[in-house]
Structure 1
Amino acid sequence: MSDRLFTPRFFVMCGFTFTVFLSAFQLLPTAPFRIQELGGSTFASGLFLGFLTYASAASATLTGAIADRIGRRRTLMISSSVILLCAIGYGSTTSYRLMLALVVVHGVFWSGLLSASAAYLTSLLPEHRRAEGISYWGLSSVGAIAVAPPLAFWIMQHGGWRWICLSCCMLNFLMGAIAWFLDRDGPTAHHPLAYSATHLASSPTHSPASSPTDHARGSLVEWRVLVLSITLFLYSFGYGAITSFSAMYADASGVSPRSLYLTCLAIVILLTRPLSGKLADRVGYRRVFMPCLVLIAVGLALLAAGSTRISFVASAALFGVGLGTAYPVFVAYVMRDVSATRRGAAFGAILAAFDTGIGTGSTTVGWLIQRFGFPTAFGVAAALSAISLPYFVVADRRLR
């Protein structure tokens, strides 16, 4: 494979991912308000993101493996089409219960979309520049997250909920069109010593013929990747809380604009992620990943401790540096030891853990806010994320 990182196909995938997240992050911050408008409680409003991510997490190991088998391009086209139909349903219904039912279907195909696109993109990257490549690619989703919430709230104010759904329909149609014009599945680099386990020790007894990947080639789940990815569950709990409730927290605290936290978060990630990817490729993935877990916990603790504009911005800065760097560095660390033919399954395992955390954060924090208020709810998220570093250290050592 060439050492060239910025290829036409790389930029096409960046455009695809930007479109995916521009669509999703118009829905996610506004759907809780729509659910409350239709008579749902604060807890019910948190279930929208919760159900989306639980469905995604439950299906991710399966949809990732299916993408490896039927083709990632085909998976992208099917997923885009089904999510378009879900957007039509969101705009048509006047029942928040039906919205919550539809989002379960949305979540299943969302996992296929993310697993297939990540596996396709990874096949385009030079191995020794993987963290850098994933970091640059991730900027497309971060850029969309920066633009989508203020755009969605503007559309909701001037046109209403159905115009948001119409916008999402058009974006999903565009996603399907981009997928249609992709090469069939991208290059698949031969990786004769790639193992499905994370960071297995190299030794004369581990030959290509007897690698765990070969033994597990028919398995749907990359179990060792999944175990290590519980680290992501522990900190993505807080990300789920922020995605669903940072706008409501701002409203309750008199902070404006209500999209302040998500916008600041996206800007910080845009500014820091390109540098952090290069740094991780140079000095080592673990050395960069572990401090990020500390920053995430501190950022959430700061949000729990203060409800002013300054505390929102400071929390978003710390949380953004940690969150924006942690995911691509973790993926690069894990993917060193995964066969090219198993990348969809591996991304499915990572997505399962990450989305379970987001869904649990969204639903649990909604209940905690109702019972105890915003500071306590975000304090719980901070405490859980603080466990992620010791868990990663212990799990990584045992999986070597």
Structure 2
Amino acid sequence: MRTQDTGRLAQSPIRVLMPIMAFVFMVYLNIGLAMPVLPLHIHQDLGFDTFVVGLVAGAPFAAALFSRLLAGRFTDQRGGRDAVVFGLSLAIASGGFYLLSMAFSKERMVCLGVLVLGRLLLGAAESFIITGALSWGMGLLGPSHSGRTIAWVGTAIYAAYGAGAPLGTLLYHGYTFTGIAGVTTLLPLVTLPLVLSLPKAEAVKGDHVPFVEVARQVWQPGVALSLSGVGFGAVTTFVSLLYVARGWGSAWFCLTAMSVAFMAGRGLLGHLPDRLGGARVAMVCILIQAFGLFLVWSAPWSGVALAGVILGGLGYSLVYPGLGAEVMRRTSQRARGTAMGTFTAFFDLSLGVSAPALGWMAGRTGLASVFMASGLLALGAAGMTFHLWRGQDPAIQHPEPALVP
């Protein structure tokens, strides 16, 4: 790509990222469609209990966790666009298994088994697509825009989740789960031409970076992300139960307000990690999140809890972009995909472990204690992030990758 084109991209990051955000939105809309109706399909249509519902719903997260490293290595070797194309292929296959499962709707165990295979493929697809998309965006814009890339791509994800829930509900009630299966097969297919039409950032050539070296650079931001992520999981999982237990009415407005605050933080403040430093921004945001969690814990009425949830969503919005920018600053570009895959695995692990642990705590010490514990863990994350910020080596800066048409 010519030098003037490189300058144009550097001056207009939103124009470069908009197509990537568009296909990420399409992919995660595909995921979001099934989220509100999958439990209904398994419990009401197939007749399985809530334990099975939880297993099937959680299958993609397990597959994503175990495929993160593979997705990262693939991205480093082949480039972000190839990783996204491979992920879309897996997503198409996932939709195909959804459709195939409906052919065995009268044999519920076979139907469930085929559906689980589709869910596992979906988790692996998500891993390749998001790792490839983030690496692709950073490759086009360069490391100086890593925080903005993570923030804006993440905004597309949560917007897709928000749109997917009502659309999936309408599809399910109008066309049963077969309608969901059909759309989740078609959406990745129609997204492929968009992806293939976009310029790619070529994989950075060089010697293979050992995983041990990548892990050494990533583990501290990753642990901080895990500790902060417990609070996010606590709100999304337990705030509704807290509202019911205290007779505060429906919690839907509370969760919607958190989502709006989260997306506003990503959209309006996503440039701050690149401008002020990822670790510094993440530390401040984690402290805001912790304050919000303590407000929910001590809330005497619903208004205080609502304020706490909004502050928690706003604070958490830049934790992943801030710490992700720190990961990119510390890691060689030859291992960018592996680094982001490993870093994101900490988030998967956090949600997977914290949900049952906090549920156990809530049953013994009350629902409010979940938010106190999450706030304390967030303070621990802030301490780790402060250490990252104060220990930064300004000499660690990696050159921008070559841009190719």
What TM-score results when the alignment is normalised by the length of structure 1?
0.77
Q: Is the 8 A contact 2:262 2:314 kept in 1?
A: yes
* Amino acid across the alignment from 2:138: T
Corresponding pairs, count = 374
* Amino acid across the alignment from 1:85: G
Tell whether 2:215 aligns with 1:223.
Answer: yes
* Amino acid across the alignment from 1:120: W
Structure 1: segments with no counterpart, 5+ residues: 192-213
Q: Determine which structure has greater relative contact order: mean sequence separation of CA pairs < 8 Å that are 6+ residues apart, divided by chain length.
A: 1
* Amino acid across the alignment from 1:68: D
Q: Is the 8 A contact 1:293 1:326 kept in 2?
A: yes
1:40 is aligned to 49
Q: Is the 8 A contact 2:28 2:161 kept in 1?
A: yes
**2:28 corresponds to which of 21, 26, 45:** 21
**1:186 corresponds to which of 185, 197, 200:** 200
- What is the percentage of aligned positions where both structures have the same residue? 22
Tell whether 2:90 aligns with 1:79.
Answer: yes
**2:150 corresponds to which of 134, 145, 151:** 134
* Amino acid across the alignment from 1:174: L
1:110 is aligned to 126
Q: Is the 8 A contact 1:75 1:116 kept in 2?
A: no
1:121 is aligned to 137
After superposition, the Cα gap between the structure-2 partners of 1:189 and 1:64, relative to the gap in structure 1 and judged at 3 Å, is closer
2: CA distance between counterparts of 1:244 and 1:100? 23
Q: Is the 8 A contact 1:221 1:345 kept in 2?
A: no
* Amino acid across the alignment from 1:40: D
After superposition, the Cα gap between the structure-2 partners of 1:50 and 1:190, relative to the gap in structure 1 and judged at 3 Å, is closer
Q: Is the 8 A contact 1:131 1:332 kept in 2?
A: yes
SS of the aligned residue for 1:14 comes to helix
Q: Is the 8 A contact 1:87 1:168 kept in 2?
A: yes
**2:163 corresponds to which of 147, 165, 169:** 147
Alignment of 1:1-400 (within 5 A): 1-2=6-7, 3-6=10-13, 10-31=17-38, 37=44, 38-41=47-50, 45-48=53-56, 50-70=58-78, 71-85=82-96, 87-88=98-99, 94=108, 98=113, 103-152=119-168, 158-159=173-174, 162-163=176-177, 166-167=179-180, 169-171=182-184, 173-183=186-196, 186-188=200-202, 216-217=208-209, 219=211, 222-228=214-220, 229-247=222-240, 250=243, 257-306=250-299, 309-369=302-362, 374-394=367-387
Structure 2: segments with no counterpart, 5+ residues: 1-5, 394-405
1: CA distance between counterparts of 2:240 and 2:37? 9
Q: Is the 8 A contact 2:26 2:191 kept in 1?
A: no
* Amino acid across the alignment from 2:384: Y
SS of the aligned residue for 2:331 comes to coil
* Amino acid across the alignment from 2:179: L
- CA shift at 1:357, angstroms? 0.8
After superposition, the Cα gap between the structure-2 partners of 1:399 and 1:128, relative to the gap in structure 1 and judged at 3 Å, is closer
